[in-house]
Amino acid sequence: MGENKNIYFDHEKLKVYQLALEFNKYAHQICSKLDSRSDIRNQLDRASNSIVLNIAEGNGKYSKKDKCRYFDISLGSSFESAGCLDILSIRNIVSNADINVGKFMIKEIVSMLFGLIKSNSDRVYEESAEYES
């Protein structure tokens, strides 16, 4: 975000919100290189917007359950964005280097969202487990 930006709302103080804005900027740059009629462009644009908007809306909710609902939606949109990047990669539309930049941001966003969800819920979580297929 730009220097000397005033903070007006609590969600603007969240590191995950700041990173979500950075990812949104990144996604916009990727989308601007794609055909305006591209289905994946529309999907990535909407998903990256959803990450930001649901963090902001969720942080403004009073109850922990409401907060988690919006953070969950933001989490889903993060995974959706990662899927969009995978599609762009396998279609050889965007370079692997560019994809890796976005995937790294998404990984950090997901980690922070999990932290917010854990701190705002009574959910039971299992430690990282190995599953066999």
Structure tokens at 94: 């965007």
Residue ranges making up the domain that contains 90: 10-119
Residue 61, pLDDT > 70, answer yes
Query: Residue 131 falls within a domain, yes or no?
Result: no
The model's pTM is 0.87
Query: Residue 133 falls within a domain, yes or no?
Result: no
For the chain, the domain total comes to: 1
Query: Residue 128 falls within a domain, yes or no?
Result: no
Query: Residue 25 falls within a domain, yes or no?
Result: yes
User: Which CATH number is 37's domain given?
Assistant: 1.20.1440.60
In the 8-state DSSP scheme, what is residue 93?
S
Question: What per-residue confidence (pLDDT) applies to 1?
Answer: 47
- The angle formed by the CA atoms of residues 102, 106 and 112, to the nearest 5 degrees, is 150
Label residue 39 exposed, middle or buried (CB < 10 Å: 0-12, 13-18, 19+). exposed
